[in-house]
Amino acid sequence: MRSFFSTLLLLNWGLLLFLIILAIGVIAALDLIAPGFRPLLLFVYVLIAIFGTFYVSFTIARKVTDPLSMIEKKTKEINAGDFGVELSSPEILELANLTVSINEMAKRLKNQFLDLTVEKEKFNSLLQNLKEGVFAIDTKKKFLFLNRNIPPNIISENSQFSEIKASIKNKVLLSFIESKLKKGIEGRTEFQEGNHFYNARIYPIKSNDMIHLHIGVLLDITEDRQNQLIREQFFQNASHELKTPITSIKGYAETLDYKLRLEPGSNEKKFLDAILRNTERLVRIVEDMLTISRLENHQTIIQTKSFLLLELVKNVTDSVGVILSSKEQNLKIEIDPKLKFEADMVLIEHVLVNLISNASAYSPNGSEIKIRAEEKIDKYILQIIDQGIGVSPEDSERIFERFFRVDMNRSRKEGGTGLGLSIVKHIARLHSGEVSVSPNSERGSIFTFEFPKK
């Protein structure tokens, strides 16, 4: 096996040597033939020289073009996914090295292709056997993939490579997906189909800030919703049943206090005061439980109207002034007098009362509580900033649950019900918004209540 340069050099030198020997023979033959035949002899020599040059050039070209044609054919087969038979080794060294590289590349690609096929089958099997329904949508709003756990009454069967508008039967889900595809953002919604409730989520898959596809997940939450309804019904019934005996106990205790007129320092007076104090706390708990029940059962209808937030805050500060003054706390209001909220004023008042009361309960005496509010392009933001004990990252996810307390002893001492923040969370949901807590850079916590503009 020779290199292309040595092959070319050898053939050219062979042709040159052949022509020199032939020329010597022609010169020797000129003296032996008649003068009339000498031009013919020279013509034959030139013809042989031309033919020899052509033959050598053709041979060199064939030694290069034939292997290159095979290599080109092989690369096209590899590109089409047909790895086929290995290329045979040409006589030219450079082309032989190229074929070896192509053969090795073909082997490696074949192994990678097989590995990817196996991984694809595993992934496809995993997706098909998930409890959730999973689907993928490309940038042309067509389904790329759907697993078998998507109910056919929501998305038609065999909808792969079909447009979403023609395949999705549930109008709520279709509207949700189209809005998220248009904006290129992730989102979540809940909808009902027949007697079943579903949770739908969609996520964009990006690379270099370019969306390549969207992944959607459908989860049947009917059982969870039924359990939630049972819990809510129990919660509501228990609240109603407790209200009557607690009111009766409070009435009898107040009557005893009025009739007996006990000495302030006597044990009987202390016991009676304890009964009244705890009965009052039970009344507040029951009232909060009934409030949550109304919010959860959607018995509260949003009465949206435009109002000046600063005026509402001033009215609220009058009602919570006793709580703040008892701890010598200062309420600082940082709200534009012209700022207007478009919301349910009564429910926003509940939010303010609960958040201010919570900030006061968990802040030391003489501390400052700030109220801030602002209007963005697409939403309203209300913040209550305290200088209290703060909330750890672990508790920040659970602080809006019913009866969850960061500091149990402090909460009992302050007489809190443990339901105020849960009420705020439900009011946020009624306004299609959310409430969150974050640490204050100075000390304490920042509670943020925000909701979109209608």
Q: What is the pLDDT of residues 182-221, one digit of tens each?
A: 888 888 888 888 888 999 999 898 888 888 889 999 988 8
Nearest by Cα to 7 from 50, 55, 60:
60
What percent of the chain has a predicted confidence (pLDDT) above 70? Answer: 88
For residues 196 and 284, membership in a common domain is answered with: no
Instruction: Say how far apart CA 433 and CA 446 lie, in whole Å.
Output: 17
The CATH number linked to 146 is: 3.30.450.20
Helix (H) or strand (E) holding 135: strand 133-138
With respect to residue 120, please indicate whether it lies within any of the assigned structural domains: no
With respect to residue 372, please indicate whether it lies within any of the assigned structural domains: yes
342-395 pLDDT, tens digit each:
998 888 988 898 899 888 888 888 888 999 999 988 899 999 999 888 887 777
With respect to residue 389, please indicate whether it lies within any of the assigned structural domains: yes
Contact partners, residue 252, CB within 8 Å, separation at least 6 = none
Task: State the number of CA atoms in the 13 A half-sphere of 60 facing the CB.
Answer: 18
Domain-terminating residue out of 186, 220, 254: 220
- Angle at CA of residue 144, ends 139 and 147, nearest 5°: 140
Instruction: Say how far apart CA 414 and CA 321 lie, in whole Å.
Output: 15
Instruction: Say how far apart CA 173 and CA 202 lie, in whole Å.
Output: 11
Question: 247 pLDDT band (50/70/90 cuts)?
Answer: confident
3-state secondary structure of 240: helix
With respect to residue 201, please indicate whether it lies within any of the assigned structural domains: yes
Domain-terminating residue out of 181, 198, 220: 220
For residues 310 and 292, membership in a common domain is answered with: no
Q: Of 239-243, 426-430, 445-449, which gets the smallest average pLDDT?
A: 239-243
Residue 279's domain comprises 224-296
Amino acid of residue 360:
S
For residues 341 and 447, membership in a common domain is answered with: yes
What is the reported pLDDT for 243?
A: 76
115-144 pLDDT, tens digit each:
887 777 776 776 677 778 888 899 888 998
256-274 pLDDT, tens digit each:
888 888 888 888 888 888 8
Contact criterion met (CB below 8 Å) for 110 and 138:
no
What is the reported pLDDT for 383?
A: 93
For residues 417 and 333, membership in a common domain is answered with: yes
**DSSP per position, 29-41:** HHTTS-GGGHHHH
What is the reported pLDDT for 328?
A: 87
Distance of CA 122 to the CA centre of its chain: 23
Instruction: Say how far apart CA 255 and CA 248 lie, in whole Å.
Output: 11
The CATH number linked to 374 is: 3.30.565.10
What is the reported pLDDT for 309?
A: 92
- With 60 as the cut, is the pLDDT of residue 412 above it? no
Task: Enumerate the H helices of 34-184 as residue ranges.
Answer: 38-79, 93-128, 164-167, 171-183
- With 70 as the cut, is the pLDDT of residue 7 above it? no
Contact partners, residue 187, CB within 8 Å, separation at least 6 = 176, 179, 180, 201, 202
Domain-terminating residue out of 195, 220, 245: 220
- With 60 as the cut, is the pLDDT of residue 396 above it? yes
With respect to residue 122, please indicate whether it lies within any of the assigned structural domains: no
Taking every pair of C-alpha atoms in the chain, what is the biggest distance, in angstroms?
165
Measured CA to CA in angstroms, residue 311 lies from 64, 370, 381, 384 at distances of 91, 16, 16, 16
51-80 pLDDT, tens digit each:
878 877 777 777 777 777 877 777 777 777
Write 247-255 long-range contacts (CB < 8 A, 24+). Answer: 247/283, 249/275, 249/279, 250/276, 250/279, 250/280, 250/283, 253/279
With respect to residue 125, please indicate whether it lies within any of the assigned structural domains: no
With respect to residue 124, please indicate whether it lies within any of the assigned structural domains: no
For residues 338 and 439, membership in a common domain is answered with: yes
Measured CA to CA in angstroms, residue 232 lies from 84, 311, 430, 432 at distances of 67, 35, 17, 21
Helices 345-361 and 420-430: crossing angle, nearest 10°? 150
Instruction: Say how far apart CA 323 and CA 415 lie, in whole Å.
Output: 11
For residues 309 and 423, membership in a common domain is answered with: yes
Total count of domains within the chain: 4
Query: What's the token pair of residue 18?
Result: 């052949």
For residues 212 and 97, membership in a common domain is answered with: no
What percent of the chain has a predicted confidence (pLDDT) above 90? Answer: 9
For residues 232 and 213, membership in a common domain is answered with: no
Q: Radius of gyration over alpha carbons of the chain, in Å?
A: 43
For residues 67 and 194, membership in a common domain is answered with: no
For residues 404 and 284, membership in a common domain is answered with: no
Query: Torsion angle of alpha carbons 142, 145, 148, 150, nearest 10°?
Result: -40
Write 432-437 long-range contacts (CB < 8 A, 24+). Answer: 433/379, 435/400, 436/396, 437/391, 437/396, 437/399
What is the reported pLDDT for 373?
A: 93
With respect to residue 351, please indicate whether it lies within any of the assigned structural domains: yes
What is the reported pLDDT for 371?
A: 93
The mean of the pLDDT values for the chain is 81
Instruction: Say how far apart CA 88 and CA 78 lie, in whole Å.
Output: 16
Contact partners, residue 37, CB within 8 Å, separation at least 6 = none
**Beta strand ranges found along 263-390 (DSSP E):** 304-308, 330-334, 340-344, 368-375, 379-385
3-state secondary structure of 197: strand
Query: What's the token pair of residue 376?
Result: 């963005």
- With 70 as the cut, is the pLDDT of residue 315 above it? yes
Query: Torsion angle of alpha carbons 429, 434, 440, 445, nearest 10°?
Result: 20
Helix (H) or strand (E) holding 137: strand 133-138
Instruction: Say how far apart CA 89 and CA 76 lie, in whole Å.
Output: 18
Query: What is the pTM assigned to this prediction?
Result: 0.49
For residues 198 and 87, membership in a common domain is answered with: no
Instruction: Say how far apart CA 336 and CA 2 lie, in whole Å.
Output: 89
For residues 18 and 139, membership in a common domain is answered with: no
